Copies of this chain bind each other. A is one copy, B any other.
Amino acid sequence: MERKKITIVGVGLIGGSLALQLNEKGMAAGIIGVESSLSHAAKALELGLVDEILPLEEAVKQSAVIVLAIPVDRMVELLPKVLDLVDHQIVFDAGSTKSQLISRVKDHPKRGRYVATHPMWGTEYSGPEAAVKSAFENKAVVICNAGESDADAVNWVKLVYKKIGMHLLEMDAVAHDIHAAYVSHISHITSFALANTVLEKEREDRAIFELASAGFESTVRLAKSNSAMWVPIFMQNRDNVLDVLNEHISQLRKFKSCLEKENYEYLQELIENANRIGKILK
């Protein structure tokens, strides 16, 4: 696999972790960062995530590949501009929502150069210092509407993700956004809401956190996630997230009703049904 000069727009958790993998797996002939935050830019250079920081136009000109790893609201604004600058380069993104982004460039003359992807990995941290080695490995990556992209671009992007150790899945953007609401977006909302539930209680009682158990930390971990990333995801995937949130609230109401009515047989059934998740996850 020939090394390519790669630009990463947004050198945070995702962009930075991707930079580490591209270097480690020998896929990059130099990495250029494009970064609107001066402190993130400085940190990315200091950590060796990128070789240099350049303005977008200059970076695109010098690169064979451009990766977008910025919040999905800014992605929707930036992707058409990047495609305006592109000649033969490959462009791909790592955003958590796909429908709006793909619609936005549907009729762009350079649409073929763009590959829409969602590597299903992340942590609750953000910024270049949150970048970690071995990110993405053994997780799924979704490639959306591959038929709208040029074959050479899709093939190269697939090779990259395979080298990183990801499982490739293809689906259309609409299906992706529904699935992402179930297996990623709702987890964040429950975690944010759980944190707020306990923080509400903590107003009267600070001692509560001394007791935080391993289980609590696990379910509430995602509540540390960045609003700049998540508000745009919820905006773009509003309808699907609302559907899943309604279903989730109605599932919680079943537990509530069991407790209110002291119907412990049904409570046991609900728990045993939930246990099936273990067989399915691994």
B267 contacts A193, C-beta separation under 8 Å: no
5 CB contacts below 8 A, A to B, read A139-B214, A195-B276, A196-B274, A197-B251, A199-B274
A169 contacts B244, C-beta separation under 8 Å: no
* CB closest chain-B residue, reference A119: B213
A227 is contacted by which of B180, B272, B281 (Cβ under 8 Å)? B272
Q: Which of A187, A221, A238, A256 has the most CB of B within 10 A?
A: A187
A38 at the interface (CB under 8 A from B): no
A186 contacts B197, C-beta separation under 8 Å: yes
B197 contacts A281, C-beta separation under 8 Å: no
**Chain A interface mostly helix, strand, loop or mixed?**
helix
A214 is contacted by which of B122, B191, B196 (Cβ under 8 Å)? B122
Of the 9-residue stretches A3-11, A81-89, A258-266, which lies at the interface with chain B?
A258-266
Chain A 213-228 interface 0/1 with B at a Cβ cutoff of 8 Å (1 = within): 1111111111111110
Chain A 231-255 interface 0/1 with B at a Cβ cutoff of 8 Å (1 = within): 1001100100110111111011111
Interchain nearest-CB distance for A175 vs B (Å) = 8
Interchain nearest-CB distance for A271 vs B (Å) = 4
Find chain B residues with CB under 8 A from A183 CB.
198, 208-209, 211-213, 216
B271 contacts A231, C-beta separation under 8 Å: yes
Find chain B residues with CB under 8 A from A281 CB.
209, 212, 217, 220
Find chain B residues with CB under 8 A from A264 CB.
231, 234-235
A195 contacts B277, C-beta separation under 8 Å: yes
A121 is contacted by which of B198, B213, B222 (Cβ under 8 Å)? B213
Chain A 175-209 interface 0/1 with B at a Cβ cutoff of 8 Å (1 = within): 00001101110111111111111111110010111
A210 contacts B273, C-beta separation under 8 Å: no
Interchain nearest-CB distance for A213 vs B (Å) = 4
Known: A167-B210, A264-B231. A197 touches B248 (CB 8 A): yes
Interchain nearest-CB distance for A73 vs B (Å) = 10
B180 contacts A211, C-beta separation under 8 Å: yes
**Considering the chains assembled together, what is the distance between the CA atoms of A255 and B235 in angstroms?**
12
**Considering the chains assembled together, what is the distance between the CA atoms of A202 and B277 in angstroms?**
10
Find chain B residues with CB under 8 A from A179 CB.
205, 207-208, 211
Interchain nearest-CB distance for A143 vs B (Å) = 12
A208 contacts B223, C-beta separation under 8 Å: no
A37 at the interface (CB under 8 A from B): no
